[in-house]
Amino acid sequence: MAEPYLTLANGSAIPQLAFGLYMVPADDEGVKIILEAIKAGYRHFDTASYYGNEATLGTALKQSGIPREEFFICSKVWNDAQKEGREAVKH
């Protein structure tokens, strides 16, 4: 059975099921966890700057050998960064 997708207003399709990265460590073990999720078929990842593991996700995506275009990344911005403005959100 194929994974269900959702169509966004701009026509892009994203996997309905996301692998949440809350509590995934920001180290080599975290990279291994994410690579196992990729191996299991996940292509949608949900993270947040607050989790501190966004770079870990990036490392795992690179190591997977799968083109970045095949992944959908959702990262939430904490309120303090939003209050600091656009430049703070870019980091």
- What is the structure's pLDDT at 11? 94
- Lookup: tokens for 29: 């073990």
pLDDT one-digit tens code per residue, 14-69: 999 999 999 999 999 999 999 999 999 999 999 998 899 999 999 999 999 999 99
pTM of the model: 0.84
Annotation says 50 is catalytic? no
What is d(CA 19, CA 34) in angstroms, rounded to the nearest whole number?
9
Asked whether the beta carbons of 14 and 5 are under 8 A apart, the reply is yes
- Lookup: tokens for 32: 């291994």
Active-site residue, selected from the candidate residues 5, 22, 42, 51? 51
Q: Does pLDDT of 1 surpass 60?
A: no
- Lookup: tokens for 25: 């460590």
- What is the structure's pLDDT at 80? 73
What is d(CA 58, CA 74) in angstroms, rounded to the nearest whole number?
12
Higher pLDDT, 61 or 85: 61
Domain ranges of the chain: 26-90
